[in-house]
Structure 1
Amino acid sequence: MFAQLCMISTFFLVAITTIAIELPLEESRNPTLNRRLIPPGSPQCNNPRFPAFRSSSCKTKTTYSALCEIRESAGETSINQCPPSTSCIDFASRNLTPFAFCVLDSQVKTWGNDGKNKEICTGKFKPNFQKGAITIGMTTYGTNGNTIQVDFLGTFVNDTFLSSVFTADSHSAIFSGYDVNDDVNLCFSGGNSGVPVTSFGAVLSGLF
């Protein structure tokens, strides 16, 4: 499967990074991505001097880095703690803005490779949302709880390949035609480093 995916053109492909890019501030603002509006997480932009959210990414299983701005300044980056009983997973908005979301552990899929160089998947599961669009996110962590790069991360819906990314520690994909009976499957391959890796994945209802 891994070799075949190298030949497939992917749609809604997002590799989550922490690189700040020069975009017009008004275009990059999205108040929905501030955790004040997405329960149960805490607000990403805690400093009132820098209220405009630009992007965020997971740093460890329980912390994330948020870039917040104002028009007159390049802004600041802060490290925020996820609430109890949540885990940090990277997603991307419809305009490809990376954002970290502290997902309730009861809604998180976790699966590991035990240090083996092979593709490991969640197995098919139903998000159980209403018909519409879904946003899928995955982040890989080492045994120390820090993010770790793997060779491959891929998403599948109803056994059909949706998207993938190579040499990354996270991946997000959008599926706009979700129906209540659809199955999702998330996979990763850790490579030949022999390091145990655990992937955390979740599905959000809607677009952001």
Structure 2
Amino acid sequence: MKPETSRQAAFSKVNMTIPMTKEYRIHGSAMPTEDNPRPQVFVGTIFTKNHVFAKAKFFKILEKKYKIKATKGLIIDCKEIPEPSFKEVQNYGIRFVYRSRSGVHNAYKECRAISKCWAIDHVLRELAGRQKLKRSAVDIISVDVVPVESLKRAKTIEFADENVEFPIFTKIVNTKSLLIPSEYNPSD
């Protein structure tokens, strides 16, 4: 039988305190040849889990748009863009394309989050829950900070007010404030 600590460590595999999605800036081009010794350099911003998925998605876009396959391509630079840590919630508008069972669709979603990666993570999880989409079926086109006046979706407008209040349905008693003498406490 394994000790208690190893079972607890194996229970939670996903850390929900950091977003799964990261932003990568990739520079790539076709391989230099005798006919084209200085090929055009392409730059892309990709939102994925890690750099391996980012490179694969970058080459997928290059092959689709410019007919440059991964075997004939070259990655010049792949950097993770560090996420600035904001302390306040912002409104984000995300344009994306997704492939479903019925075809390819353009879509726009708004959400409130503390950073771009959190906003994209929120939208990807919502699409997975509502429409059974995998992360690989969604291509992010743009992520923009949207001012409150320009919001379109009612769900986002509802929480964009500065004086929004949330009701407390059940008040939970703070057990630490209750003083229980040690002579009556059964745990001692």
TM-score above 0.5: no
Larger radius of gyration: 2
> By percentage of residues, which structure has more strand?
1
TM-score calculated relative to the size of structure 1: 0.25
Structure possessing the higher relative contact order (Cα contacts under 8 Å, 6 or more residues apart): 1
> By percentage of residues, which structure has more helix?
2
